[in-house]
């Protein structure tokens, strides 16, 4: 069996890391299913997430492990972690404390892209509100 098929059909964790040693992490609200954010994990971040139950990412800007909410208090308690066919992306289902986005919106996806039309565009339309 090729590595390709092994990755897709096996029960062995065999991450397909990118050139920077990272996979993509999509974090969703465990109750509503809403996509909260997209970030990255290296092997250590994934291991720490699984071991502690606190969502932990790799910060590409700060170049270090980043326990979500360690500064803001807006932590993410992990309910489960799913992995995709080629093992280069995970879905992290969490209970979000506070808001997921540093801008203050509950999710980072607070704008919809309005396709271009006769009036121009595309433009972005705000579809969420900041709580409080």
Note the residues at the interface with its own copies (CB under 8 A): 8-13, 24, 26, 28, 32-35, 37-38, 46, 50-51, 80-85, 88-91, 101-103, 105, 108-113, 115-116, 121-127
Smallest separation, CB 45 to its own copies (Å): 13
* Cα distances (angstroms) measured from residue 41 to each of 30, 88, 132: 19, 10, 31
Smallest separation, CB 85 to its own copies (Å): 5
Task: Between 73 and 114, name the residue whose CB sits nearer to its own copies.
Answer: 114
Smallest separation, CB 64 to its own copies (Å): 18
Element (H, E) at 56: strand 56-59
Q: Which two tokens stand for residue 24?
A: 């993509």
């Amino acid at each position: 069996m090729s590595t390709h098929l092994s990755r897709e059909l096996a029960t062995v964790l065999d991450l397909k890391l990118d050139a920077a040693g990272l996979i993509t992490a999509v974090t969703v609200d465990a109750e509503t299913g809403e996509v909260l954010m997209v970030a990255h994990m290296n092997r250590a971040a994934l291991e720490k997430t699984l071991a502690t139950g606190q969502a932990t990412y790799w910060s590409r800007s700060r170049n270090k492990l980043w326990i979500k909410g360690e500064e803001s208090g807006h932590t993410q308690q992990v309910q489960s972690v799913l992995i995709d066919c080629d093992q280069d992306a995970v879905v992290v289902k969490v209970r979000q404390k506070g808001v997921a986005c540093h801008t203050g919106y509950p999710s980072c996806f607070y704008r919809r892209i309005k396709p271009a039309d006769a009036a121009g565009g595309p433009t972005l339309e705000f579809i969420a509100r900041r709580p409080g």
